[in-house]
Structure 1
Amino acid sequence: MSGGGAERVVVDLAHGFFDKGLDFDMLLVRKQGPYINQLPPEINLVDLQARHTSSAIFALSRYLRHFRPEVVLSAMNYANVIVLLARGLARVKTRIVVSEHNAFSFWIKNPPNLRTQLMLRGLMRITYPKADTIVAVSRGVADDLARSIGIPRKKLRVIYNPIRLDHILAKTNEAVDHPWFHSDEPPVILSVGRLHPQKDYPNLLQAFSLVRINVKARLVILGEGKERPRLVSLAKELNIAEDVDMPGFVENPYKYMALSKVFVLSSKFEGFGNVLLEAIACGCPVVATDCPSGPREILEVTGVGRLVPVGDPESMAKAILEAMEKGEKKEPNLRPFLLENVVKQYMEVCGL
């Protein structure tokens, strides 16, 4: 349960299923990660005690053979492949619903390792047709997956990621222990996500350097990852280091969103862009790149926010300045993303 967007979605769905009174186990490759303590304490966590997702296949197969659950819902492509292979090994009739959370054709260009890149597409072509249902978290992800691995588009079901609105709003009331978020300080521009090339934070830093020419402001990026040294170096090179802070991963980003002047998603690609929707729910004006896929759909449905081209710091800076000056006057449409509505859709595809 690492600190990514897909993992946060799993936590939210777990709360939704629990609130519906469903009896379920949560299977984890390893029982570790920052989101473990955010799960409902009453649910049963099954630790497969595997070193990697791929090495969990035999433990998972034994679980399926022994407990014979009615349905398994899995998330993210490599886990989906292992679940489908494990069902074959177990020789059980458990219904398998797999969910795809990223634009695969973009993700596969920057895989965790070369082995993954060489093997995953082929394994997905073999296993995904055997799933009882394939869920994509946006129309863009569904279209991309159909093209990438040759699945008929009509076999994919689009279900948007949920937000636990009451939970988010309650979390916005917690105090922020950061000196830049005091009322007498310059406005803060916020971004949240792993420090990873996918998020294109160099583009955001360049845009922020242009914003700084026009107004006094500060930039906070919440998240951790391998790009930290590069981003620290670039901030110094752009002479903005004193107004940029990267505090690392935080369990509650919502209290920061509620106090920020603008939220920015600068990604090269996404599957959905959970943090963008969460920032909207917190009442923060948003700027997002028109990347594949998710941000455009979120802004179209909610009716708020500003889209800019990918990798264009000038356009991003202009949109940030406009958002700082004008704010957001409309009330967003959040109904399609509310947890109770999303859970109903998942229960339907799971046959519950």
Structure 2
Amino acid sequence: MHCSYFAAERCRSCALMEQPYDEQLAAKQSHVARALDDRGDLAWLPPLVSRESGFRNKAKMVVGGTAAQPMLGILDAAGRGVDLQDCGLYTPAIHACFPVLADFISRAGLTPYDVPGRTGELKYLIVTESPDGELMLRFVLRSQESVSRIRKHLPELLAALPQLEVVSVNLHPEHKATVEGEREIVLTAQETLRMRVNGLDMYLRPQSFFQTNTEVAAALYRRARDWVTELAPASVWDLYCGVGGFALHCAAPGRDVLGIEISPEAIASAELSAREAGLEGLDFRVGDATAFAVGARQAPELVIVNPPRRGLGDELSRWLEASSVRQVIYSSCHSGSLARDLAAMPSLRPRRARLLDMFPQTRHYEVLTLLERA
């Protein structure tokens, strides 16, 4: 894949941009094999490849420049905006909406936030596309000062982007290196974006998490579902369940599946999906994964974990090691934290694994591993 931004050194985020894709995959496979301490008894499925471009279903665009001439992209080393509207990683639908959004910023008079000067209002635009081509748009603002203008001009934006289903404002008053704040103001009647994956409807609210590569995410859920079907556990926990992707895919008659997630919005979405699909035996609860597991009276037969990049941590890893859990399906986006967690639970040995290339052109990837008690 050729990228003019990379060649001009305007953006170097995709560190592997000039490396052939097959070499990227081979290097990632070698890296994760070392992290899992593959001693020859680990069965590897072939790596799951991704499209090299047009695969990202979510864009987090820094807004720079001025209201009259906004730039959508990233910040440079000096904290100034670099326009990346022609970035080839995003889906065609997201790519096509950038000029419309830039025009909206100008018409609504939204002043981009100047990081060095700490002035202005609009920090980010976050755009997400569903598998059906519908869009969610979030304006990350410093304050509520611009909300009335966004409301005033919103009908024009909805007319220009008829696929836009959910629009919200996120308030992020602090000057800090995070993308969003805690408070969300939904501006449309619809509050959730339907993410149809493998025949299941999942629902994404503005502050909920979903994998950025829909096709690879669908394959990730199918692989976990196939392993659970083969193992046929009577009870499953899905820790860090998010909007319920793994739990919903693993539901089956006679099986109790419990999903735990810290985000109330994500749990509300998971419960909606379960109701609409008519799935029985599913229970979703708001809570911290580690606190829930450590405080539970009884462990399930199988646990699915999909932690953030920092991994499970020592306490949850030690709990799994000492528990009666027979199998763990571990979905990881960081092989370093995965290796640390595996070292803390030596009796749960990796038996099967698959690299899923969720993030082409970068060194990042997802790996799904089946651990069985020795």
Higher relative helix content: 1
What's the TM-score once normalised by structure 1's chain length?
0.31
What's the TM-score once normalised by structure 2's chain length?
0.30
